[in-house]
């Protein structure tokens, strides 16, 4: 038993190191050939990478042991209980409780509060996003119960986003689009995915692949609507500070750097563990409250579930510590150095390559890809899915960087992207649509958000005539949009080739 567990962990560890290779190559290329300097903290970077790989391996093992089983078991028990009220309340509480403490959302909210001079309140922004995610998960669960096609909901949501955009103040649009990308955390995604797949598997007439995915897409869409509505209220009741944001004072820039740049200290290691536990704790409270007080049933294989949750916490903790020791500082340094070089092509190349490499190492995407391969019976290969999603993120971040450099309004690009998503949805195979929509939400989590946010704000601060509040946000939205396009386009191509081969064989 112990030998078998060690073999499984060794395999997970090998895969983790393989996932980190793209990030290492990108950072090494730019450090050696562009910046042309060997980093002073090279030893720390190497140690950090090893810790990241170990963290990823522990995280994946924890998902398999704890998060996936408890999510699917809860969904099955709720389906048997046949209580719509309690199921929707559970869905809402999972969405709200996991989002309010999401580190990526806290970071974005703090930056928005600093840049806006306090007009955007960080706490109220987080509450707005958390309420929207709770509502989104509940709506997504309702969709699974009634069996409606997901595209009707998502397309309607995009139309509402676009319409709201034309009434929202320009200072809030990029932030609202980004809010949709930072709500799906590394721990939330596997649990929500397990809940959706478990429900679809338990209800007669539902297909886990077609109906089970999609909850994450709802969680990415709703915050865009809610935050724009919040911005309309805030900016209509207070004088605009757009001019003030352009002429950002040295004091505000200093505060922004304190939020953006990670200053690694050993004391932070312990604080990270506390932070990870705080992120996971609300989820556990909600899960066990509903398990024991609503469903009134003990957890099957409780010791395995607890062991899995502990592994998830340790894995995520090691993952974050490893990133902070090595990759985040050097990645952010390269981003700021490139903006100072005034070479736009290098900026776009870095944006593309860092988008691809960080997405390949994103734990939330890995979790969804594993589930997609399992549910599809191997038809959807997890490696292929991750590569296609990573290409989408890379294209999105490169285009988003061009948008900042060119100074174009963000909504023109995003609206054009949504129109493409709607068109391609009608040609894509049904089984891939929910997975494609979910892919947009899982690409902006633990690894991607800090680097992408630093790149966007760094560009907006260093390019003359750009406003950090208006232009600095939005890259995360691009990183969420384009994977939907690439996944549906790829699956449409594969389906076309399959039908062509089938027709040849028949003739």
Residue pair 457/504 in contact by the 8 Å Cβ criterion: no
- Angle (nearest 5°) at CA 393 between 389 and 397: 175
Distance CA 180, CA 129 (A): 8
pLDDT of residue 59: 81
Distance CA 330, CA 501 (A): 48
pLDDT of residue 256: 43
- Containing H/E element for 482? helix 475-506
pLDDT of residue 241: 45
* Widest pairwise Cα distance in the chain: 74
Q: Where are the domains of the chain?
A: 11-41+81-262+324-506
CB atoms within 10 A of CB 420: 16
pLDDT of residue 239: 54
Residue pair 65/5 in contact by the 8 Å Cβ criterion: no
Dihedrals phi, psi of 160, to nearest 5 degrees: -65, -40
Residue pair 416/366 in contact by the 8 Å Cβ criterion: no
Residue pair 55/13 in contact by the 8 Å Cβ criterion: no
443: tokens are: 């690409």
Distance CA 27, CA 334 (A): 8
- In sequence order, what are the residues at sequence separation of 6 or more whose Cβ sits closer than 8 angstroms to the Cβ of residue 484? 392, 421, 436, 437, 439, 440
Distance CA 51, CA 57 (A): 10
Q: List, as one string, the DSSP characters of 223-291.
A: HHHHHHHHHHHHHHSS---HHHHHT--HHHHHHHHHHHS----HHHHHHHHHHHHHHHHHHHHHHHHII
Q: How many CA atoms lie within 13 A of 323 on its CB side?
A: 27
In whole angstroms, how large is the CA radius of gyration of the chain? 22
Residue pair 450/262 in contact by the 8 Å Cβ criterion: yes
Distance CA 446, CA 324 (A): 11
CB-count burial class (<10 Å; 0-12, 13-18, 19+) for 412: exposed
For 200, the 3-state DSSP assignment is: helix
Closest CA relative to residue 74, chosen from 296, 277, 366: 296
Give me the average pLDDT of each 10-residue run along the chain (507 residues). 71 77 80 76 80 83 81 78 83 84 70 78 89 93 90 89 88 81 68 84 83 86 92 76 42 45 55 74 84 84 86 82 70 69 85 87 80 80 90 93 87 86 89 86 66 75 76 82 92 83 76
pLDDT of residue 332: 61
pLDDT of residue 242: 43
Torsion of CA 22, 23, 28, 29, to 10 degrees: 60
- In sequence order, what are the residues at sequence separation of 6 or more whose Cβ sits closer than 8 angstroms to the Cβ of residue 315? 54, 55, 56, 57, 58, 59, 60, 61, 62
CB atoms within 10 A of CB 44: 16
CB atoms within 10 A of CB 337: 17
Distance CA 178, CA 354 (A): 18
Residue pair 217/483 in contact by the 8 Å Cβ criterion: no
2: tokens are: 């112990």
pLDDT of residue 402: 92
Residue pair 443/184 in contact by the 8 Å Cβ criterion: no
Distance CA 248, CA 114 (A): 10
pLDDT of residue 249: 36
- In sequence order, what are the residues at sequence separation of 6 or more whose Cβ sits closer than 8 angstroms to the Cβ of residue 429? 491, 492, 495
Residue pair 109/126 in contact by the 8 Å Cβ criterion: yes
pLDDT of residue 261: 41
């Amino acid at each position: 038993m112990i030998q078998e567990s060690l073999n499984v962990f060794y395999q997970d560890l090998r895969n983790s190191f393989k996932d980190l290779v793209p990030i290492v190559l990108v950072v090494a290329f730019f450090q050696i050939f562009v910046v042309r300097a060997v980093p002073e903290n090279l030893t720390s970077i190497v140690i950090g990478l090893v810790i990241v790989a170990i963290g990823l391996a522990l995280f994946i093992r924890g998902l398999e042991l704890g998060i996936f089983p408890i999510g699917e078991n809860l969904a099955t028990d709720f389906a048997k209980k046949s209580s719509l009220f309690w199921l929707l309340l559970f869905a809402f509480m999972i969405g709200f409780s996991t989002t309010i403490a999401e580190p990526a959302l806290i970071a974005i909210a703090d930056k928005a509060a600093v840049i806006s001079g306090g007009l955007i309140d960080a706490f109220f922004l987080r509450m707005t996003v958390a309420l929207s995610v709770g509502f989104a998960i509940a709506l997504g669960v309702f969709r699974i119960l009634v069996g409606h096609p997901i595209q009707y909901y998502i397309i309607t949501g995009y139309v509402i986003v676009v319409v709201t955009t034309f009434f929202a103040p320009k200072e809030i649009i990029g932030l609202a689009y980004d809010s949709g990308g930072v709500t799906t955390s590394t721990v939330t995604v596997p649990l929500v995915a397990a809940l959706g797949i478990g429900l679809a598997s338990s209800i007669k007439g539902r297909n886990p692949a077609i109906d089970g995915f999609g909850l994450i897409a709802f969680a990415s869409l709703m915050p865009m609507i809610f935050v724009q509505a919040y911005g309309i209220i805030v900016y209509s009741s207070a004088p605009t500070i757009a001019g003030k944001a352009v002429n950002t004072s040295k004091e505000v820039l200093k505060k922004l750097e304190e939020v953006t740049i990670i200053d690694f200290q050993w004391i932070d290691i312990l604080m990270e563990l506390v932070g990870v536990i705080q992120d996971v704790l609300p989820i556990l409270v909600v899960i066990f409250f509903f398990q024991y007080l609503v469903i009134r049933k003990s957890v099957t294989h409780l010791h395995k579930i607890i062991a899995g949750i502990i592994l998830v916490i340790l894995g995520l903790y090691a993952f974050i510590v490893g990133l902070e020791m090595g990759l985040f500082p050097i990645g952010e340094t390269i981003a700021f150095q490139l903006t100072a070089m005034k070479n736009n092509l290098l900026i776009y190349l870095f944006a593309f390559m860092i988008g691809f490499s960080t997405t390949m190492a994103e734990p939330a995407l890995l979790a969804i890809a594993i589930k997609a391969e399992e549910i599809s019976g191997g038809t959807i290969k997890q490696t292929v899915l991750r590569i296609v999603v990573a290409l989408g993120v890379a294209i999105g971040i490169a285009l988003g960087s061009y948008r900042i450099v060119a100074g174009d309004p963000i909504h023109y690009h995003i609206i054009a992207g949504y129109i493409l998503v709607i068109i391609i949805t009608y040609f894509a195979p049904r089984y891939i649509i929910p997975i494609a929509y979910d892919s947009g939400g899982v690409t902006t989590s633990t690894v991607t958000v800090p680097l992408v946010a630093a790149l966007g704000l760094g560009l907006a601060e260093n390019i003359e005539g750009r406003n950090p509040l208006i232009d600095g946000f939005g890259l995360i939205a691009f990183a969420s949009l384009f994977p939907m396009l690439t996944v549906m386009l790829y699956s449409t191509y594969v389906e076309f080739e399959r039908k062509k081969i089938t027709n040849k064989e028949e003739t």
